């Protein structure tokens, strides 16, 4: 393992990519300490201390703690994710966006451009709602979070938070293009990880103060270990469809017949369904911020708190839906069947062509369901963990899924670079296998 880490820095391109990624993440964390003007940071921190376990606390986790500190990155990357969801949904219903998806690189540029425009619009709307919400906040001691509310504060907050989100979006795109891993996922990942030292310290303080006994701490660590192992197992699980390739002549050479397999991942969509579903679940609370003084809206928002039954049911169903939705976009059974047929391949017992694509689609549908249900169950367990053991969200749910998923995807890319240059990878007996797409 240590030799593999040393090998990373022996490859100039990989070393450059990793250092670039670390540099961008450091810039993101530094920006998270620049406060937005016009806000009493101490009063806001006092409010969030009382709001732990609510949807605001969960959103703050995705924003890397920037919302509770009222920084210029308070909105986080969620507006960009929301815009991406809207564009992808439009691609499923509107012919124009379907055409863009089939146009290759030029179409992707157009889609990226529309996603950026959507990010600006959503960020401005959320920033306006956030300014209204901040103006309505007062602490238990009577201190106002916004000492000088008004049109000036609203306009300044909109400009500051919107620019902050656009800058985060740019940082994520730079990581994806010039660094290692998926930039947007890594930004969310580093925001969750940043809160881990404080959580561990808090647990240690409670244990030393006598609020936790040794048995409960060991039980928590055991649950965390089992959940992480289960996530890794399901994430790397594959259904291997046997494929037989017959003899084929290339010019003067003849390829012998051979057998191989078509790997279909149980979790083709990765952590995308978790992020997309969470982004949708933030929408009701975002909408209610436009009506901070409405009792009806505040009662409506109460149904979408993380400890509410309705919230967890809808959240779980959203994860299952987006798992199927993203898998349908990422994997095309028709293209797979055509590729197999062009190489004179055949799945034993299945006719080539349409029958093969139908078979692949049926297998993919069946293996996606248990994986999606598993991740949905893991994602909604934070409520049970928080109510039973008073532990942080990421110890059992959404944050943990993101941390493990992003870490595996990033290690997979590093592994690919190492093996491409004939270095030993991280996994000697079982490789980190990529998804077939």
- Kind of pairing between the strands at 345-346 and 253-255: unpaired
Flag whether 433 is in a domain: no
Flag whether 333 is in a domain: yes
Under a CB-based contact definition with an 8 Å cutoff, are residues 79 and 123 in contact? yes
Flag whether 128 is in a domain: yes
Asked whether the CA dihedral 83, 153, 292, 399 is positive or negative, the reply is: positive
Which tokens in the block code for residue 69?
A: 């500190």
Could you tell me what percentage of the chain is helix, strand and coil, using 3-state DSSP and rounding each to the nearest 5?
A: 65, 5, 25
Query: Which ranges constitute the DSSP H helices of 179-236?
Result: 183-193, 196-208, 214-236
pLDDT of the residue at 216: 76
Q: What is the CATH number of the domain that holds 410?
A: 1.10.3370.10
Flag whether 428 is in a domain: no
Q: Whose CA is closest to 399, among 229, 279, 275?
A: 275
CA–CA distance, 413 with 185 (Å, rounded to integer): 14
Flag whether 430 is in a domain: no
CA–CA distance, 170 with 154 (Å, rounded to integer): 24
- Domain region containing 209: 2-420
Residue range 85-93: average pLDDT?
Answer: 81
Flag whether 268 is in a domain: yes
Q: 253-266 burial string, b = 16+ CB within 10 Å, else e?
A: eeeeeeeeebebbb
pLDDT of the residue at 105: 79
Residue range 340-349: average pLDDT?
Answer: 83
- The neighbouring-strand residues paired with 250 are 253
pLDDT of the residue at 165: 92
Flag whether 426 is in a domain: no
How many distinct structural domains can be found in the chain? 1
Q: Residue 219 above 50 pLDDT?
A: yes
pLDDT of the residue at 168: 92
Average pLDDT score, the chain: 79
What dihedral angle (degrees, nearest 10) is formed by the CA atoms of 183, 66, 31, 129? 90
pLDDT of the residue at 394: 46
Q: Residue 144 above 60 pLDDT?
A: yes
Phi/psi at 53 (5° precision): 90, -10
Q: 7-22 burial string, b = 16+ CB within 10 Å, else e?
A: bbeebeebeebbebbe
- Greater confidence (3 vs 107) lies with 107
The band of 435, judged by pLDDT with boundaries at 50, 70 and 90, is: very low
Q: Could you tell me the pTM of the whole model? A: 0.75
Q: Residue 202 above 80 pLDDT?
A: no
pLDDT of the residue at 26: 92
CA angle 96, 331, 242 (to 5 degrees): 155
146-170 pLDDT, tens per residue?
888 888 888 999 999 999 999 999 9
Flag whether 432 is in a domain: no
- For residue 388, count other CB atoms closer than 10 A to its CB: 11
């Amino acid at each position: 393992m240590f030799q593999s880490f040393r090998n990373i820095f022996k490859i100039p391109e990989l070393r450059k990519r990793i250092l670039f990624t670390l540099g961008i993440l450091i810039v993101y964390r530094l920006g998270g300490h620049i406060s937005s003007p016009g806000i009493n940071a101490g009063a806001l921190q006092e409010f969030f201390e009382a709001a732990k376990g609510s949807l605001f606390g969960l959103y703050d986790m995705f924003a890397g703690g920037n919302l509770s500190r009222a920084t210029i990155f308070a909105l986080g990357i969620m507006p960009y994710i929301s815009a991406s969801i809207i564009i992808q949904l439009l691609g499923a219903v509107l012919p124009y966006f379907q055409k863009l998806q089939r146009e290759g690189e030029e179409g992707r540029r157009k889609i990226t451009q529309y996603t950026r425009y959507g990010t600006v619009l959503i960020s401005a709307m959320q920033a306006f709602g956030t300014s209204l919400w901040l103006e309505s906040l007062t602490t238990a001691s009577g201190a106002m979070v916004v000492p000088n509310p008004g049109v000036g504060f609203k306009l300044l907050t909109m400009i500051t938070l919107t620019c902050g989100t656009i800058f985060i979006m740019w940082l994520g795109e730079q990581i994806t293009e010039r660094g290692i891993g998926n930039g947007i996922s890594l930004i969310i990942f580093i925001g969750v990880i940043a809160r881990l030292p404080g959580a561990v310290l808090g647990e240690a303080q409670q244990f030393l103060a006598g609020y936790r006994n040794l048995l409960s701490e060991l039980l928590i660590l055991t649950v965390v270990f089992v959940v992480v192992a289960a996530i890794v197992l399901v994430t790397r699980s594959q259904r291997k469809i046997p494929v037989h390739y017959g003899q084929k002549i290339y010019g003067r050479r003849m390829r012998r017949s051979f057998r191989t397999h078509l790997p279909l991942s149980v979790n083709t969509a990765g952590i995308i369904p978790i992020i997309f579903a969470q982004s949708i679940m933030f929408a009701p609370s975002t909408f209610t911020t436009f009506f901070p003084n409405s009792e009806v809206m505040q009662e409506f928002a109460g149904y979408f708190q993380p400890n509410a039954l309705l919230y967890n049911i809808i959240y779980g169903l959203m994860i299952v839906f987006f798992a199927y939705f993203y898998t349908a976009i990422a994997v095309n059974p028709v293209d797979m069947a055509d590729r197999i047929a062009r190489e004179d391949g055949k799945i034993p017992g299945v006719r080539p062509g349409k029958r093969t694509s139908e078979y692949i689609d049926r297998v993919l549908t069946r293996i996606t369901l248990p994986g999606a249900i598993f991740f949905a169950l893991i994602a909604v367990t934070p409520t049970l963990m928080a109510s039973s053991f008073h532990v942080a969200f990421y110890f059992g749910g959404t944050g943990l899924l993101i941390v493990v998923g992003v870490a595996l995807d990033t290690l997979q890319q590093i592994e690919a670079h190492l093996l491409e240059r004939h270095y030993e990878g991280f996994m000697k007996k079982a490789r980190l296998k990529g998804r077939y797409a």
